[in-house]
Amino acid sequence: MPDLEKALRERRDAGGRVFIPYVTGGFPGVDASLLRALQDAGADAVEVGIPFSDPVMVGGVIQEASRLALEAGARPSRILETIAEAALDVPVAVMTYVNPVYRHGFEMFLDEAESAGVAGVIVPDLPVDEAGDWTAACAAHGVASVLLAAPGTASERLAWIAKASSGFLYCVATYGVTGIRAELAGTARLLIERLRPLTDLPLVLGVGVGSPEQAAEVGAFADGAVVGTALMARLLEGDRDGLLALSRRFRSALPPG
């Protein structure tokens, strides 16, 4: 599988900024061909959500996409099969919650993820002080365990998160859940400034990056952006071509290096 941290470091070290689009796995139309099209649109990595019935971190758009995906029969194993079928040249990270991972079993989940070519896993509701067994299991499987760093977190805890994370550090731009905001939160830059002295991992900003213009702002101080709600809103409208066109605009807003 492609190495997540290596791929993002290469973009950053060449003077570029990272673009990671998110799509909800199992949602109608999120298939291997769409994942390949996102790669062709310039993604440095692709984030695929594994839906859960109580997605505490996400806002209305991705909640609705998750609901529809579950109604359509989305299951972790099926989503991993789609990722394996896509066989991307860029890394794939999956985002899910601790409940489905725990129910599946850490080892079984990571066995299947590794076999599918997953390069990283994001579990936003697993706090760093309870993540030791999980991060150790990920390391044993060669899968990055991407942790989240949020505004308002104490400096000592930020240092702990930065040390425990691998692949990249998912930097949460604002308080609250995912969604489109009228402007980029001021907490975004402050968080990146606090993290720079703590880690050399790529610092990629997500949650509230809703337009190419905001992505361009992000590129001035962070190493890149994760974009989800703006893209999934297009799919909820049945506009696959619009999603891909918007992805290309986000890529253009973030310098390639």
pLDDT at 52: 84
* Residue 198, φ and ψ in degrees, nearest 5: -95, -20
* Residue 185, φ and ψ in degrees, nearest 5: -65, 145
- Lowest-pLDDT choice from 50-54, 128-132, 154-158, 253-257: 50-54
pLDDT at 116: 97
Chain segment 150-204, per-residue pLDDT in tens = 988 999 999 999 999 999 999 997 654 444 445 676 788 999 999 999 999 999 9
What is the average pLDDT across 69-96? 96
Q: Is the pLDDT of residue 11 over 70?
A: yes
Kindly give the interhelix angle for 186-195 and 155-164, rounded to the nearest 10 degrees: 70
**Tokens 């809703």, located at residue:** 210
